[in-house]
Amino acid sequence: MIRSYPKTPLVGVGVLTFNSEQKILLVQRGNEPAKSLWSLPGGLVELGERVRDAGIREVKEECNIDIEPLDVISVVDLILQDSDGKIKYHYVLIDYLAKFISGELRPQSDVIAAEWFSQQQLAELDIPEVTREVIEKAFRMGLE
């Protein structure tokens, strides 16, 4: 799938997963956009796949854990232009709140690292602004 300079927007899912200690799961991205930055696990929705199921699959593929999606936190437009003003990336991202069910956290597929973070630790991390806004919204909603 061509992700850069797409002809139409791509639909993706991000998953803000929390554990019993109210820590959230972040991954360090291995690919562009946002390579090496900390972000929510997630990826593109496959043809015929429900968004909720895509979130479950992506977290399993990237982090080796099972989750239970609870609710949609937000829908975000991520549109990035190149230096000539052309649209290089255009994603419509549906972000879910989810809880950890089981598994041993281990980075896999296209992520460099996967770790649990407390709300206080987030200030120290290099997180894209759009992702930081989703995380802050989730904490305002209250992790349940």
User: How much is the pLDDT for 143?
Assistant: 67
User: How much is the pLDDT for 49?
Assistant: 98
CATH class of the region 10-141 = alpha beta
Per-residue pLDDT of the chain (144 residues; tens, 9 = 90+): 678 999 999 999 999 999 999 999 999 988 877 788 999 999 999 999 999 999 999 999 999 999 999 999 999 998 999 999 999 999 999 999 999 999 999 999 889 999 999 999 999 999 999 899 999 999 888 766
Assess contact for 42 and 15: CB atoms under 8 A: yes
Q: How many CB atoms lie within 10 A of CB 48?
A: 6
User: How much is the pLDDT for 125?
Assistant: 95
Distance CA 83, CA 118 (A): 36
